[in-house]
Structure formats: C-alpha cells, structure tokens
Amino acid sequence: MSDQENKIVISLDDLLAQAQLLKKQIDDLSAAKAEILDSVASIESAKASIQELKTQQEVLVSTDKKGYLMFRINPQPPQKVLVYLGLSYYVEVDVDTALKILDDRENELKEASAGLDKKLAESKAAYDQIIDLLNQIQAQAQQKGE
C-alpha cells in the first residue's frame, strides 16, 4: 500500500463547515449544562429551605423582588409540601419523602451533567483538531505565498 492510498482528502469548505457545526454543538452543550447546573442549584436551595423550615422559629418573607416590604412569620413546621415531578405535575408528600425525591432528581441531574461533560470534551477535542489543521493549512499557504 502506498502513502496515497492512506490519505483522506477533504475540502477546505468541508473542514470549515465541520468546525462551525462543532462550535454550535459546543455552544448547545454548554447551554444545556448551564441549565442543568441551575436546576441542581434550585434543588439544593429547595432542600435547604425544607431543612430551615424544620428548625426556624421565625422567618422573614419578602413581598417583592427587592425586599421593600418584609413580614415576620412564625411558621409551623410543614407536614406536607408540593414537589415538582416534571411536565407541570406536582405531588403532595411529607417532608422526608420530598427530600428523597429531591435527592433522587439531583443525582439524575448530576449524572446528566457528567454525560454532557464527556460529550463536551469530545466535541472540544474534535474542534481543536480541526482548528489546528486549519492553522497548518493557513501557515502552508502563507509559506507558499512568500
């Protein structure tokens, strides 16, 4: 077998198109990961709220986004809470069951995040290879032009 038989020929336009596709994929994966991390933070906040309501004697509740008006409330520890299941469905459960549901959902999201990290690393590696190849082509073109 000669060297000619082992070479793969690809046009510059195809390389550029592949780079653009990978860049979009990287952006989409990054956005999906940010959304997952935001959901994980919300779940952690929900779990902290449940724990705090179990132990707090008094809670300050804001009536608006900026905190112009606050109420002091002496809450009763919640017996039941509503937990979001997805697709606009909620379930009313006791606090311990709510914490278990939230823990399970958090673990699912963290696994999904890890999967996205793997895909993101693969896409970035492929993108970097194409960019290196394009840089080599550009350097060769400049050398020929001199």
pLDDT (tens digit per residue) in 64-73: 888 889 888 8
What does the H/E/C string look like for 61-117?
A: EECCCCCCCEEEECCCCCCEEEEEEECCEEEEEEHHHHHHHHHHHHHHHHHHHHHHH
Can you list the residues of the chain whose pLDDT is less than 70? Answer: 1-5, 146
Q: Which two tokens stand for residue 34?
A: 């940010």
Amino acid at 33: K
- Say how many CA atoms lie within 13 Å of 20 toward its Cβ: 6
Distance from chain centroid for Cα 50: 24
Please tell me the pTM assigned to this model: 0.72
pLDDT (tens digit per residue) in 75-105: 777 788 999 998 999 999 999 999 999 999 9
Largest pairwise CA distance in the chain: 83
Q: Which two tokens stand for residue 86?
A: 């997805």
